Amino acid sequence: MPIIDAHVHLSGDEPESLTLLQELDIKLLNVCVVLDPGDGWRQQAGIWRSLAAEYPGHYAWCTSFNLPQTNDPGYVDNVIAALAGDFANGAVACKVWKNFGMDIRDASGAFMMVDDPLLEPIFSALEGHGKPLLMHIGEPLACWQSLEELGQDHPHYPYYSTHPEWHMYGKPGVPSHADQVAARDRVVERHPKLSIIGAHLGSLEYDVGEIARRFERFPNFAVDTSARLEDLVRQDAGRVRDFFMTYADRILFGTDLVCFSRTSQTPAAERTAVCGELRRQLSYNLAYFSTSGKFVMGDREFDGLALPAAIIDKVMGGNARRWYPGL
């Protein structure tokens, strides 16, 4: 069975990319991200959808939905109808993004959290379709810490030092990391029959113990590892190993690599760089999961997890196939 990258944004449609996917024996779940109001993101969705239709062995896609507009009484019905159309067109899941809780405002001007009653019928509709919800809610804890506190060696220092717009530290009125996670947890709790995957280790990347607590509370909750390998390798390897052994069915490998435009329309150097990064990320993850003792990642050494092959197979693909039916 192929490896599955359960969280990625990569439009590889020309020989270099397709040959690589073949060689790595990997299938990609491309995830829609809705940044702006309106349906501009549908152009992206169209690319993911057609790649999945054209190369079903290598691509699947996860849809999303338009951001709420105040004063649009038809909003929820329109979203539910659009989702039904997307599932008919092969989407295996729906994604909700971190702008709920950090950017979008409700009619009163307050931040709209992901557990807002407005979204409830949408989540219930997903439950009715038997389609999972991928939730990227909140950010790493580092988002609410100062750059000084993080230090340059912190895995999230590079992002927050260059993306001040998403660095919530010191921004008055923005709900806290705990508020974001609590809102997400309430959605998970309210919909026990809805499979929910927490993107990026469920924004609990700083401690596998925090993820374990949710797994104990919520049988319908899983996480993907996308873009959080650097956080895992910095935790005690024995503790992370126990976590993987105990929750072997609920952890999905992902990279979060990004190449939104079709690689056939991307400069060759950029395309080659993305292909190289996919190869590199895959080898780092496999080295981390399988190595007993130290392995090298970039210019540093970390302790490997020495996981049994059967567990690695689940994390690298089996779990994604189970949590995303039809994938």
Contact residues: Zn ion, CB under 5 A:
256
Between 205 and 256, name the residue whose CB sits nearer to Zn ion: 256
Give least dist CB 198 to Zn ion, A. 12
Between 35 and 245, name the residue whose CB sits nearer to Zn ion: 35
Between 8 and 248, name the residue whose CB sits nearer to Zn ion: 8
Query: Cα torsion at 326, 48, 10, 136 (round to 10°)?
Result: -70
Give least dist CB 97 to Zn ion, A. 9
Residue/partner pairs of 188-191 with CB below 8 Å, 24 or more apart: 188/214, 188/218, 188/220, 188/221, 189/217, 189/218, 190/115, 190/120, 190/123, 191/123, 191/124, 191/127, 191/133, 191/220
99 vs 103: CA distance, rounded Å: 5
Residues in contact with 153: Cβ distance below 8 Å, sequence separation at least 6, in sequence order: none
317 vs 252: CA distance, rounded Å: 7
Strand extents, DSSP E, 181-250: 196-198, 221-224
Give least dist CB 200 to Zn ion, A. 8
Give least dist CB 61 to Zn ion, A. 13
Between 36 and 236, name the residue whose CB sits nearer to Zn ion: 36
Give least dist CB 32 to Zn ion, A. 10
The DSSP bridge pattern shows strands 26-31 and 59-63 to be parallel
The amino acid at 96: V
209 vs 25: CA distance, rounded Å: 32
Residue nearest to Zn ion (CB): 256
Name the one residue in this structure whose structure tokens are 């057609």. 50
Give least dist CB 98 to Zn ion, A. 10
Between 136 and 241, name the residue whose CB sits nearer to Zn ion: 136
Q: How far apart are the first and last CA of the chain?
A: 12
Between 224 and 303, name the residue whose CB sits nearer to Zn ion: 224
Between 5 and 256, name the residue whose CB sits nearer to Zn ion: 256
Cα angle for residues 135, 138, 142 (degrees, 5° grid): 135
Give least dist CB 30 to Zn ion, A. 10
28 vs 145: CA distance, rounded Å: 33
